[in-house]
Amino acid sequence: MVRGVPASVRAAAWIFVILTLVFVLAPLIVVAGVSVSESQFIVFPPQGFSLRWYEAILSSSTYLAAAWTSLKLAVLVTSTVTGVGAGAAVALHRRRLPLSELLGALFLSPLILPTIIFAIGLLMLWSATFGPVSFMALWIGHSVIALPYVVRTTLAVLADSDPFLEEAARTMGASRWQALVHVILPQCAPGLAAGAFFAFNISFDEAIVALFLRTPSLVTLPIQIYNQLEFSPDPSVAAVSTLMIALTVVLIVAIDRLLGIQRVAA
């Protein structure tokens, strides 16, 4: 007779999972807790309840400027990689290009190689070629990092799509352009949208490239937080961080609505 999982093991498993989840989520919970503390020192568990730190950051010009830089950058990066990635994914999916498989691997390579190596290379190449780093350097840096996500999600959606729809459209007299816009693009749309949300999240949260390219006038929100952490932070850092976490959660929910998180998690 096969014995089921012993009750003691089952109980131990539950405790283990809960402890692990606490471990994994602890920093996020702590940050949120500190942000509503009344005390001007960073303490956890928080003392009292107050939204003063949220008020403080919403009226701080440094934080607002950094947030604006991050937002501008993320929107630009997302638009860029969605367009570029769509074309690349469609071309890769068709597998008609020479060296398609190698090309596909190359498109995913920024995911594998350590970001710090790319960041330092970009700093050196840009400085040697163009001089001081600018917003454009950051735009290019983030676009390179975000592109593989769009290509990957779009390819995944295209892999499940009907290959004959395009052919049918062309047979009916549609031009290449019309087939692309009216048939293929709608097929890609969920993948593109998920990729776009990933790209936005990545660009907004990105800290390595932004750190290497940082100048006093080119500060993104994560770098502003990093600057504060290097010296003496007050709970306003926690308020900004909590807002960033909230943004991430919103983006995850949006990805789920669009693609279903099962697809993405697989």
Task: Report 125-144 residues binding other proteins (CB under 8 A).
Answer: 125-126, 128, 140, 143-144
Position 76 contacts other proteins (CB under 8 A): no
Helices vs. strands in the chain: H and E counts, helices first: 13, 0
Q: Which of residues 11, 15, 26, 159 is near other proteins by CB under 8 A?
A: 26
Q: Between 54 and 73, how does the x/- string for binding to other proteins read (CB under 8 A)?
A: --------------------
Min dist CB 205 to other proteins, Å, is 4
> Does residue 114 have a cis peptide bond before it, meaning omega lies within 30 degrees of 0?
no
Instruction: Report d(CA 251, CA 119) in Å as an integer.
Output: 26
Residues 172-195 as b/e (b if ≥16 CB within 10 A, e otherwise) read: eebeeeebbeebbeebbebbbbbb
Q: Which of residues 75, 117, 168, 185 is near other proteins by CB under 8 A?
A: 117
Min dist CB 38 to other proteins, Å, is 16
Q: Between 167 and 206, how does the x/- string for binding to other proteins read (CB under 8 A)?
A: ---------x------------------------x--xxx
Q: Which of residues 67, 237, 258, 259 is near other proteins by CB under 8 A?
A: 237
Q: Which of residues 79, 134, 161, 248 is near other proteins by CB under 8 A?
A: 248
258-259-261 Cα angle (round to 5): 115
Q: Which of 156, 158, 157, 144 is nearest to 80 (CA)?
A: 144
Q: Tell me how far the alpha carbon of residue 120 is from its chain's centroid.
A: 20
